[in-house]
Amino acid sequence: LLIYQNPPPTPPRTDQQPNSVNLLEPCRSCSHTLGDHVTHLENVSEEEMNRLLGIVLDVEYLYTCVHKEEDADTKQVYFSLFKLLRKCILQMGKPVVEAQESPPFEKPSIEQGVNNFVQYKFSHLPSKERQTIVELAKMFLNQINYWQLETPSQRRQRAPADDAAGYKVNYTRWLCYCNVPQFCDSLPRYETTQIFGRTLLGSVFTVMRKQLLEQARQEKDMLPPEKRTLILTHFPKFLSMLEEEVYSHSSPIWSENFLVGSTGGQIPIHTGGQKRKPSEPIPHDENKKLRIVGDIPMELINEVMATITDPTSMLGPETSLLSAHSARDEAARLEERRGVIEFHVIGNSLNQKPNKRILMWLVGLQNVFSHQLPRMPKEYITRLVFDPKHKTLSLIKDGRVIGGICFRMFPSQGFTEIVFCAVTSNEQVKGYGTHLMNHLKEYHIKHDILNFLTYADEYAIGYFKKQGFSKDIKVPKAKYLGYIKDYEGATLMGCELNPSIPYTEFSVIIKKQKEIIKKLIERKQAQIRKVYPGLSCFKEGVRQIPIESIPGIRETGWKPLGKGKELKDPDQLYSTLKTILQHVKSHQNAWPFMEPVKKTEAPGYYQVIRFPMDLKTMSERLKSRYYTTRKLFMADMQRIFTNCREYNPPESQYYKCANLLEKVFYTKIKEAGLIEK
């Protein structure tokens, strides 16, 4: 970026500086008077003069830095900036750093990524607890903005295998745009977190995290009481969770398609359905998006959420009494937030000596499995727990193991085998088993393995069913045959993971959604809660009246049925819908909608479309007799067309196919008499 062209000049003598200057005196370098050298400044404004004097001060400071700096890379940058400012003084211009590109250097920025992380991981929390996370995020970003990066030579010594050239480029940019402008006001200054992104953060995060935590431990006695818990308890966990997202290749927080919600924060939308060319941008204008029929506006949801103040409704961290309808893992989740329990994935290793703590935990896991699974030979349990190919998600409470799930991953086959799963008897019925499984699911989603297989005995089948396992195995038999251990008298069960679900917080999200719906119902009831006088027409001899003539009936949301008929015979409905679906699938414009959209063909599709639908899925639903009414069938078909128009631009062939196929569909529906013509 910057080239060291010439050695810095010798410092001028500063021991004989006069207090005042006579412009009529001759110049020491030439025969002119001093006044001849400043004639071009006679008409310069005072503001411009002050700016130039400020640059002079910065030049003198950089001159000192050049001669004091020992690191060659840093000295080179200082000298280049020194020459740049000196040139600005001579030409009375403004300093512009000659770089290969201008800020920002990477999108999304560190600041945006951290904000995305807060929304992605903590948006479900109550406002009070979420505010704590926001404070931690601000504190972390502030630390980065004033963090002193190690020089490229220091980094080469510490991590010789890292990308030295890439780090040197970012180090030079950081000096020019963030560090030097802190003490040279004439240079434009940028915040590190606003112009750099994941690359720079990844190169400094490990060292920075270690130093920050060490500093916090050393200064814990000087921290005010209200900050002590925040920094010593919450901040380390915040950094650990952020570290996973910084170095995870599949983390959504670094995607430029991380969508903006109506509240102004960043909200990831996990969804899915029609094809877009990879070169076409994803639209961000929420106002232009077509709204799905039945969707609740985000503005209304935010307004309702603001009225929910009961901490038990939102499962706040201070909830001490759990309701009878609490989720199974609620108590365990609260204990984890308070630091009572911890979860660690551990395993034995032949390459490096495991530390004493891990060995003690492995022994503890072997004891728990042996006591809780008496049918399993103890030697067999010991062999698998200490086998380097197996790992165990351990549940730690008060420093000792109270449960765990032993598993073996088969990445090439796309599944993981769960071998043992147990919680010690005196810690059961507390939701630990559910929370263990949820942690295991999130661990595997991060490692791109989305299928579990296990052999469950008659005592474990109930537990695995509650965790989403079933006897309907999604993994092809050829994939697991010969890999998974077969147990006599046990039942093979499988579980398919959805990467869009945050499993450890899923019950919280569901409870929050139920509370929002409840409030929306209460609002609707308040709007229509009106007492009408009784119907007196029947006393006068009237035998029958139209439903729509009943006072207040329309205000409840009731609508008169159209002329289209609802087929009551299930077989007749099935036959009619099957015929319509066959007509649609055989149409020449149906080709884009035949199967679910593949992620490789439409990048970012499942982050834009919330409810994907396709003709193959509709065929499967029809076959399973899912469509008990015509409305369900029509809603799914309409969603195909709506999704396509929402994702693709109007000039695309997919958009045009959706419009043409929609006309065909409604023609067939009318012909079948399901809606009025």
Q: What are phi and psi of 425, to 5 degrees?
A: -60, -40
pLDDT at 677: 57
pLDDT bucket at 562, cuts 50 / 70 / 90: low
Distances from the Cα of 628 to the Cαs of 231, 359, 577, 621, 632, in angstroms? 56, 57, 10, 10, 7
Task: Identify the bridge partners of residue 33 per DSSP, sorted by sequence position.
Answer: 26
Task: Identify the bridge partners of residue 330 per DSSP, sorted by sequence position.
Answer: none
Best CA proximity match to 413, nearest among 446, 437, 448: 448
pLDDT tens figures, 69-94: 899 999 999 998 998 888 888 888 88
pLDDT bucket at 326, cuts 50 / 70 / 90: low
pLDDT at 268: 35
pLDDT at 564: 52
pTM: 0.45
Q: What are phi and psi of 408, to 5 degrees?
A: -130, 130
- Per DSSP, 230 falls in state I
Give the number of C-alpha atoms closer than 13 A to the C-alpha of residue 492, restricted to the C-beta side: 13
* List of domains in the chain: 339-497 (3.40.630.30), 508-532+541-556 (no CATH), 570-672 (1.20.920.10)
Q: What are phi and psi of 235, to 5 degrees?
A: -65, -45
Q: What is the 3-state secondary structure (H, E, C) of 355-397?
A: CHHHHHHHHHHHHHHHHHCCCCCHHHHHHHHCCCCCEEEEEEE
Best CA proximity match to 300, nearest among 611, 561, 34, 519: 519
Q: What mean pLDDT value characterizes the chain? A: 81
| Sheet containing 400-410: order of strands | 341-346, 391-397, 400-410, 415-423, 451-456, 491-496
> Is the Cβ–Cβ distance between 244 and 343 less than 8 Å?
no
Reading the block at residue 396, the tokens are: 């730690």
Q: How many CB atoms lie within 10 A of CB 567?
A: 17
Q: What angle do CA 557, 562, 564 make, to 5 degrees?
A: 135
pLDDT at 555: 72
- E strand or H helix at 491, and its extent? strand 491-496
Catalytic entry in 417, 505, 646, 662: 417
pLDDT at 327: 64
Can you tell me the mean pLDDT for 106-122? 89
Q: Which of 210-214, 330-334, 615-619 has the highest mean pLDDT?
A: 615-619
Between residues 648 and 310, the one the model is more confident about: 648
pLDDT bucket at 278, cuts 50 / 70 / 90: very low
333, 337, 339, 343: CA torsion to nearest 10: 50
Burial of 435 (0-12, 13-18, 19+ CB in 10 A): buried
Query: What is the C-alpha to C-alpha distance for residues 216 and 447, in angstroms, rounded to an integer?
Result: 32
In the chain, what percentage of residues exceed pLDDT 90?
30
> DSSP string of 292-358?
PTTPPPHHHHHHHHTT---TTTTT-TT--S--TT--TTHHHHHHHHTTSEEEEEE---SSSPPPHHH
Catalytic status, residue 336: no
pLDDT bucket at 344, cuts 50 / 70 / 90: very high
Give the number of C-alpha atoms closer than 13 A to the C-alpha of residue 174, restricted to the C-beta side: 25
Residue 42: alpha-carbon gap to chain centroid: 59
Q: What angle do CA 30, 31, 33 make, to 5 degrees?
A: 100
Query: What is the C-alpha to C-alpha distance for residues 612 and 610, in angstroms, rounded to an integer?
Result: 6
Reading the block at residue 572, the tokens are: 């007749």
Whether 487 shows a pLDDT value over 90: the answer reads no
> DSSP string of 391-440?
EEEEEEETTEEEEEEEEEEETTTTEEEEEEEEE-GGG-SSSHHHHHHHHH
- E strand or H helix at 492, and its extent? strand 491-496
Whether 29 shows a pLDDT value over 70: the answer reads yes
Task: Identify the bridge partners of residue 345 per DSSP, sorted by sequence position.
Answer: 393
